[in-house]
Amino acid sequence: MRVQIVAVGRVKEAPVRAVLEDYYGRIGRYARFEETELRDGSVEEVTARFNKAIPDRSRVIALEVLGKAMTSDALARAVGGAELDGVQSLVFLIGGSYGLPPAVSRAAHMTLSLSAMTLPHRLARVMLAEQVYRAFTILRGEPYSH
């Protein structure tokens, strides 16, 4: 399975990028990993960029403030379910400063909330990467998740 994070905007700050790369490397022990950063623009432009970045036959999870709140164990079950279902790509979407385009969010298989609070995009990306890594460690019974 491939795990992909598709996000509007670039993470340029070196310390944040280093943390992301660390978690991306950890995720890469369990699945192929890819990060796709999209340029912001009009709703139509961003919608087209998301649609182009999402591979066919993907299971898509959109990050939304009003999405489903999940525990780490529940996210692990969702990731594990994707593995068991033979999903080729598990894709997580993070919108820009105005969130995800409505059509992109509606087309997702699930919406996920990392917090009821609005988070800066770079922090949301770090939190998501850590939770995806944690999900794999939970699924494998590894000690990191404790």
For the chain, which residues make up each domain, given as ranges?
2-141
Please state, as a whole number, how many other Cβ atoms lie within 10 Å of the Cβ of residue 22.
Answer: 14
User: What superfamily does domain 2-141 belong to in CATH?
Assistant: SPOUT methyltransferase, trefoil knot domain (3.40.1280.10)
Answer for the pair 112, 6: CB distance below 8 angstroms, yes or no: no
Task: In whole angstroms, give the CA distance from residue 27 to residue 24.
Answer: 5
pTM over 0.85: yes
3-state secondary structure (DSSP) of residue 10: coil
Answer for the pair 129, 33: CB distance below 8 angstroms, yes or no: no
One digit per residue, pLDDT tens: the chain, 146 residues?
999 999 999 999 999 999 999 999 999 999 999 999 999 999 999 999 999 999 999 999 999 999 999 999 999 999 999 999 999 999 999 999 889 999 999 999 999 999 988 888 899 999 999 999 999 999 999 998 66
